[in-house]
Structure 1
Amino acid sequence: MNRLLDRLTQNGKFHPMWIVLAVTGVLIVASIVFIPARYEGSKEPKQKIAVADHAAAETLPEPDAGQHESKPEPAVIQTTHFTPPAERDMPTGEMGDMIKLGRNIFVHTQVYAKNLVGNGLNCVNCHLDAGRKADSAPLWGAYVMFPAYRSKNHKVNSFEDRLAGCFRFSLNGTPPAYNSKEMLALTSYSYWLATGAPTGKELAGRGYPKLDKPPRQPDAQRGAAVFEKNCAICHGADGLGTKVNAQYAFPPLWGKDSFNAGAGMHSVKNAAAFIKANMPLGKGNSLSVQEAWDVAQFVDSHDRPPDPRVKK
């Protein structure tokens, strides 16, 4: 560089190379000053954007959060699991005798309350295992839920009212008097089965389980095939039950000795739920939802005693 300068200044005259040197010098200085400044300037907006994005991320709600706040989820009703006392723990004395009588009436209604029954059924036919089995309207699940309003008769019912309804419709008979030994015995048995159960709490297994709607409309013709394959062996090919020693070992599902048209089981929805959870006997939940609805439609399509509330 020094030699170049000497050559340019030897004669003291202006030389064109001065222009090149001047421009080069300016570019060098500019690069030293301008490029770092630009680099630093380019970093600052990115930092600001990042901070802004972070702040937005903290304040924006989660997807659908506003919907959850404006439409809160309904409270979930918790069901309580309950196991009734074992039969070996049934009390002794007069109370025990009344409880045992109640169990006998419930299981052998045709023997212990024959004068109150108008068909061939026993209470245990719809409430399995002596009223103990979950998902078959067990007595312990019903007892703790009364008094209760029932749309069937449009009034608040006592537990005695509920038992009276079973005699009137399911047994197609005459309700026992409210101060009778039969009514007291059945109430005592139900009370004992519910020993330790919380009053007014929805117990798991109470009633019949809610059954999904079938994929197709219930059909009696399809139900006839389900009945023949799964039900006829116990209830008879004609559905009129199977007798042993003049008593029904397996109940009739229609006809004069079955429940009347006012019974809860005459509702296809109720019958389907009971069948799905409990039938064939000992093989509950083996039928599909569609099969349960179809066979319930088939059973309830047959003739039976009329609803006593309907005038002939």
Structure 2
Amino acid sequence: MNRPLHLIAALVLCSTALQAGQADDDQEELPDTPNSAPGFTPPAESELPDGPFGEMVRYGRDLFVNTQQLRGRFVGNGLNCVNCHIDAGRRADSAPLWAAYTMYPAYRSKNDRVNTLTDRIQGCFRYSMNGAPPPSGSRELSALLSYHYWLARGAPVGVALAGRGYPKLDTPPSAPDIGRGRQVFEAQCAFCHGDDGQGRKAEGAYAFPPLWGRDSYNWGAGMHRINTAAAFIHANMPLGRPESLSVQQAWDVATFINSRERPQDPRHEGDLQETDAAYHAHQCHYGDELDGQLLGSRAHPNPLQ
């Protein structure tokens, strides 16, 4: 197969980044959190207000924890927001909502424009939830924004707070390896997420989310980036045992998880190589040939598109 030079260059860039563990140019749209960053403690749930505002905040929290309420409308997979933002969006180093709220509007290279927090949340539904964005002004989106706002009550505006996002992870001693990652998954992750990575259910609902396949995040979600997944895993997984994996183990299991097929990038318009070149020149496996097939060529559809 003859590939245009710009496509070859993009594939080389992706491979080089994976081998060197380089930073992802499309990952950090906000300033780094300095070592001297101030800390912040969000309000306790016992401080939830009464009245109409309190009702909206509570609804936002309920949607955040059980986003499956919106399955078939705005959610197209089996995930909940809380799967990637632990402790109902409160936990530091798990992309807490209180640390995000005060940093928007912000420029994002992912879509090459300044985004509001509304844009950011809508993007999460499109990519991480493999769904459709709730309309601006809708009750659902207003509730989620209200919950963000309430958690950030008293936080300084425009200041990168300690615990924002996922902590940047050191470059691993060796290049991330899918085979080693499979071993880490089997030993450390399969108990909760299933031997096949498809999660575990209780009473018909996911108690632990699927990590790949039809019901997981799609190829456009931030978590499909190996560096992002590795940072999240190291700081937060296995659940209840943060930082128990080594840096190498976190990178290895992240590359294994993201070497499995999942729903298609919603920006894909029919040509895998063009999608790869346009949107995936970062630490990922999209468009790579693994096990005799190009990842993304058998991706699952978005049921809401």
Out of 165, 186, 200, the residue aligned to residue 242 of structure 1 is: 200
* 2:297 corresponds to: none
| 2:53 paired with 1:105 | no
- C-alpha separation in 2, matches of 1:120 and 1:176: 17
TM-score (norm 2): 0.77
| 2:95 paired with 1:133 | no
Q: Does the CA-based 8 Å contact 2:57-2:144 persist in structure 1? A: yes
| 2:161 paired with 1:191 | no
- C-alpha separation in 2, matches of 1:112 and 1:99: 17
Q: What are the Cα deviations for residues 71-116 of structure 1, in whole angstroms up to 9, with x where unaligned?
A: xxxxx67311000000000100000000000000000000256521
- C-alpha separation in 2, matches of 1:111 and 1:119: 12
* 1:223 corresponds to: 181
> CA-atom RMSD, angstroms?
1.0
Q: What are the Cα deviations for residues 48-77 of structure 1, in whole angstroms up to 9, with x where unaligned?
A: xxxxxxxxxxxxxxxxxxxxxxxxxxxx67
Offset of residue 234 of structure 1: 0.1
* 1:84 corresponds to: 42
Q: What are the Cα deviations for residues 139-179 of structure 1, in whole angstroms up to 9, with x where unaligned?
A: 10110000000011000000000000000000000000001
Offset of residue 239 of structure 1: 0.2
* 2:220 corresponds to: 262
Structure 2 letter corresponding to 1:178: S
| 2:172 paired with 1:214 | yes
* 1:290 corresponds to: 248
- Structure having the higher helix fraction is 1
Secondary structure, aligned partner of 2:127: helix
* Runs of 4+ residues over 2 Å off in structure 1: none
TM-score (norm 1): 0.75
Q: Does the CA-based 8 Å contact 2:226-2:254 persist in structure 1? A: yes
Q: What are the Cα deviations for residues 14-47 of structure 1, in whole angstroms up to 9, with x where unaligned?
A: xxxxxxxxxxxxxxxxxxxxxxxxxxxxxxxxxx
Secondary structure, aligned partner of 1:149: strand
Q: What are the Cα deviations for residues 197-222 of structure 1, in whole angstroms up to 9, with x where unaligned?
A: 00000000000001000000000100
* 2:78 corresponds to: 120
- C-alpha separation in 2, matches of 1:182 and 1:304: 26
* 1:300 corresponds to: 258
* 2:274 corresponds to: none
Q: Does the CA-based 8 Å contact 1:113-1:182 persist in structure 2? A: no
- C-alpha separation in 2, matches of 1:105 and 1:130: 10
Larger RCO: 1 or 2 (CA < 8 Å, sep 6+): 2
The structure number with the bigger radius of gyration is 1
- C-alpha separation in 2, matches of 1:212 and 1:229: 23
- C-alpha separation in 2, matches of 1:304 and 1:263: 11
* 1:232 corresponds to: 190
Residues 113/237 of structure 1: CA separation in 2 closer, same or farther (3 Å cut): closer
Percent sequence identity over aligned pairs: 62
Offset of residue 310 of structure 1: 1.4
- C-alpha separation in 2, matches of 1:190 and 1:236: 32
Secondary structure, aligned partner of 2:73: helix
Q: What are the Cα deviations for residues 270-303 of structure 1, in whole angstroms up to 9, with x where unaligned?
A: 0000000000000000000000000000000000
Q: Does the CA-based 8 Å contact 2:57-2:150 persist in structure 1? A: yes
- C-alpha separation in 2, matches of 1:175 and 1:256: 19
* 1:147 corresponds to: 105
Structure 2 letter corresponding to 1:104: D
* 2:273 corresponds to: none
* 2:268 corresponds to: 310
* 1:272 corresponds to: 230
Aligned pairs, how many?
237
Secondary structure, aligned partner of 2:114: strand
| 2:53 paired with 1:95 | yes
